[in-house]
Amino acid sequence: MQTIGHYIDGQRVAGTGARTKDVFNPNTGAVQAKVSMATPAELDAAVKSAEAAQIKWAATNPQRRSRILFDYKALVEANMDALAAMLSSEHGKVLADSRGDVIRGVDVIEFACGVPHGQKGEHTYGAGPQIDVYSMRKPLGVVGCITPFNFPAMIPMWMFGMAIATGNACILKPSEKDPSVPMRLAELFVEAGGPPGLLQCINGDKEIVDAICDHPIIQAVSFVGSSDIAQYVYARATANGKRSQCMGGAKNHGIIMPDANMDQAVKDILGAAYGSAGERCMALPVVVPVGEGTAERFLEKMLPAIEAMKVGVSEDPDADYGPVVSEVHRDSIADNVTKAVKEGATLLVDGRDFKLQGYEDGFFIGPSLLDNVTADMETYHDEIFGPVLQIVRADNFEDALKLPSAHQYGNGVAIFTQNGRVAREFADRVEVGMVGINVPIPVPVAYHSFGGWKRSAFGDANQYGMEGLRFYTKVKTVTQRWPAPEEQSSDSAFVIPTF
């Protein structure tokens, strides 16, 4: 069986660490590879050669760096089908969704090609007598990027696309559950003409995450994953003086106002709740029908829509969603459904015992729908991260607004309404970082930026867009004066200069 090592200095290398972990095919439940867990010594060697590569890269003029990123974008697109198949076989999402995962990452590479424009800095001519002031955005050096299992193409590209475009080297530490796509993305960078050593892919788990947070050469840590670990990584990296942005978990709400176009809202919520088996940080696992009769009208259309949904293997073009990532995760989703019932929720659709014929060992779970969920239930408070939709009924707009605002997570939220004034007020007042108005998954496009509030993000810089550019650069400001000989001052100034 293949053991996946690391991608260092432009080559796939075997790991030297004693520990490996299993990589499953969630469709069959079979172990299809092993992945090596890097040691701190392997990380140290990779960081040192990344440091050398970064010095040359930072000295390469910006348009030459961009040309490599243009070629990289084209090469990733040319490899789209192979990447999507690889992604589905380790993650379990359906092929069309895997393509979307790659495409949303490529969008950031496309934005990153224009980074020279954003990195130009500022200039003031004549800020004082013969004095000009200019600033520049310098790269940080070597940065660490730690990513989750659920978007193994998009999230690495969010991070290394912006890090490399701004002149940094990147140590990418992907999820040990689906490492093959990040490894291939690193390899394609070198095939596109990127310097070996600039993008190193190191596989591992907590041991190597800790080593990244502690490494003295690594200047910044970008992390996406669950909230407790995001908070831990943020604390550890910042305690070591590193810049850090750590995105965490989510529990996004879809508010249905009484005037919503119900056919459209049901279609949108169905895809957002159950797509990718609910394993998206921007999924909509909570729906809030507002006012009398709205929940009944929603259920009238939602129940048959769930009935018509198809759960299947990733390669099945008719499947709406595939298996979840692991057996442990499938059991945790089922346990949460059981717990919700114990807490008093009404189970309208029960997906716990679903088996896919011919794939009985695969990590499949059917869709569940829970009604009469209330804000005091633990299963409402917690992220389930599976194909489970919870209905929390609200009497009016104010009560509905309070739910996402008071929730521990504040990643995304959506409102379905035909009333622009209500939508506008909701967007203004809700305590959540990304808002959709009749848009169920409001992941901002690459030239805006991505980031939640509260326990969905630690640190104050969003991912990608201009926020990403700022995260991966530091400002240097130069104040210069070129006086003519007759303008040289003859006295020392003992007070701070004022102009």
Stretch that binds ligand NAD, among 11-19, 117-125, 243-251, 390-398 (CB under 6 A): 243-251
Q: Report, in Å, the least distance between residue 66 CB and ligand NAD.
A: 26
Q: SS3 for 490?
A: coil
What SS3 state is found at 241? coil
Name the amino acid, one letter, at 71. Answer: D
x/- mask, ligand NAD, residues 215-234, rule CB under 6 A, reads ---------xxx--x-----
What is the nearest approach in angstroms of ligand NAD to the Cβ of residue 251? 9
Q: Which stretch binds ligand NAD (CB under 6 A): 45-53, 120-128, 245-253, 335-343?
A: 245-253
Q: Strand, coil or helix: what is 305?
A: helix
Binding segment for ligand NAD (CB under 6 A), chosen from 112-120, 202-210, 399-407, 439-447, is 202-210
Give the residue with the Cβ less far from ligand NAD, 170 or 423.
170
Q: Which two tokens stand for residue 317?
A: 């073009």
Cβ-contact 92, 323 below 8 angstroms = yes
At its nearest, how many Å lie between ligand NAD and the CB of residue 485? 58
Under the criterion CB under 6 A, does residue 205 sit at the interface with ligand NAD? yes
CB 401 → ligand NAD: shortest distance, Å? 22
**In the chain, what is the straight-line distance between the N-terminal and C-terminal CA atoms, in Å?**
71
Binding mask 373-392 for ligand NAD (x = CB under 6 A): ----------x-x-------
* Interface with ligand NAD, residue 150, by CB under 6 A: yes
Alpha helices in 343-439 (DSSP H): 378-381, 397-406, 420-429
Contacting residue, 76, 146, 164, 183, with ligand NAD by CB under 6 A: 146
Does residue 160 touch ligand NAD according to CB under 6 A?
no
Interatomic CA distance for residues 16 and 5, integer angstroms = 8
Residue 281 designated active-site: yes
Answer yes or no: are the C-beta atoms of 314 and 269 closer than 8 Å. no
Question: Of the candidates 361, 446, 438, 437, which has an alpha carbon nearest to the alpha carbon of residue 118?
Answer: 446
Interacting residues with ligand NAD between 417 and 476 (CB under 6 A): 452, 456
Instruction: State how far the Cα of 352 lies from the Cα of 309, in Å rounded to an integer.
Output: 15
Q: How far is the C-alpha of 47 from the C-alpha of 251, rounded, in Å?
A: 36
**Catalytic pick among 113, 145, 170, 281:** 281
Among the residue ranges 10-18, 52-60, 101-109, 144-152, the one whose residues contact ligand NAD (CB under 6 A): 144-152
Asked if 306 interacts with ligand NAD (CB under 6 A), we say no
The whole-angstrom separation of Cα 481 and Cα 183 is: 49
Host H or E run for residue 492: none
Select 101 or 371, whichever has its Cβ closest to ligand NAD: 101
User: C-alpha distances in angstroms, 379 versus 25, 183, 312, 383, 390?
Assistant: 28, 36, 26, 8, 9
Size of the site for ligand NAD (CB under 6 A): 26
Question: Which residues neighbour 130 within 8 Å (Cβ) at sequence distance 6 or greater?
Answer: 481, 482, 483, 484, 487
What is the closest distance, in whole angstroms, from the C-beta atom of residue 386 to ligand NAD in the complex? 11
The token pair at 465 is 């867009």
* Candidate residues 64, 206, 381, 476; the one interacting with ligand NAD per rule CB under 6 A: 206
Residues in contact with ligand NAD by the rule CB under 6 A: 146-151, 173, 175-176, 205-206, 209, 224-226, 229, 247-250, 281, 383, 385, 411, 452, 456
